[in-house]
Amino acid sequence: MIVVRAYIYAGQPVKDVILMSTLALDDENEIAVPIDSAEVILSRGSEQFTLVPDYAYDTTETDTTFGITYYYPGDDLIVAKGDTFKLQVNYMEQQLTAEAVVPAKPDSFSSTVDTLWVPNFNRNIEYIRWIFADSNIVRLNWDNPEDQYHYLLMDNVETDPERLEGNLPPRWRRFISQPFADSTYTMLASAITHFGRHDIVLFHVQTDYVLLYQSSGQDSRDLNEPYSNINGGLGMFTAFNSDTTSLVLAKAK
């Protein structure tokens, strides 16, 4: 059985299509083997785009450890709002299909704070007071009258950013929320752990992705498989649209 993780993003190149084989119950391997010899076709109406494997996939920017992905090498594929894409995977005797619609871009995404100024902290209590000061609470807002699902990603984009406090517990430079249906998100300054510019990206997601996320966190005693929208296989093919704002963490002068 083939497992698919295929994500496409409005306005971005197609480069996040991962195929892997499932492990048999008696298989001693702990990690599924990626598949690099499948025929992978993405279609939009009468247009067809053949994807090819990339063996130098940068996994540091993703939530996967697989170093092989399929991507589209041309420059004539523009993923746009409202597009309906069909995915077809042919491998040995297996054929997998799936469909995804590109959602709309989040509407009126904004932040109440664009710069957080960090003073010198002589005591831990000063750091705590700084975190909870109203002027340092980041409130993200957008229009969402139909309560559609979104998730947030915050990523420090500096090459080698300095950590805010060397004696604080180490944390990731990247923050990813779970999908939620709301029009606001409040973020404390403690979530921002490195100096420099951070991109805060709001992703509009489809219901399929939400169902996958919810089922992936099920109790280990639940024998149901995670949600899948792949015909003839397992996994997820879905599309995202997004908007971005920025936040800078800087030392007070």
**Confidence (pLDDT) at 60:** 45
Tokens, residue 12: 């971005």
User: Looking at the predicted structure, is the pLDDT value of residue 218 above 60?
Assistant: no
Instruction: Read off the pTM.
Output: 0.86
Distances in Å between the Cα of 200 and the Cα atoms of 91, 103, 128, 176 are 38, 19, 23, 10
Beta strand 2-9 with 234-251 is parallel
Question: Which has more pLDDT, 73 or 175?
Answer: 73
| pLDDT tens, residue by residue, 64-73 | 455 689 999 9
Using pLDDT thresholds of 50, 70 and 90, give the confidence band for residue 91: very high
Do residues 118 and 130 touch, judged by C-beta distance below 8 A? yes
Q: Which residues contact 78 (CB under 8 A, 6 or more apart)?
A: 11
Strands (E), 81-224: 84-91, 94-101, 107-111, 115-118, 138-143, 150-156, 174-176, 184-187, 196-204
Do residues 95 and 38 touch, judged by C-beta distance below 8 A? no
49 DSSP 8-state letter: E
User: Looking at the predicted structure, is the pLDDT value of residue 102 above 60?
Assistant: yes
Do residues 58 and 42 touch, judged by C-beta distance below 8 A? no
Least confident residue range of 35-39, 64-68, 124-128, 148-152:
64-68
The number of residues making up the chain comes to 253
Neighbours of 17 (CB within 10 A): 23
Q: What is the CA radius of gyration of the chain?
A: 21
For the chain, the average pLDDT equals 87
Question: Which has more pLDDT, 111 or 121?
Answer: 111
Q: What is the mean pLDDT of residues 234-243?
A: 96
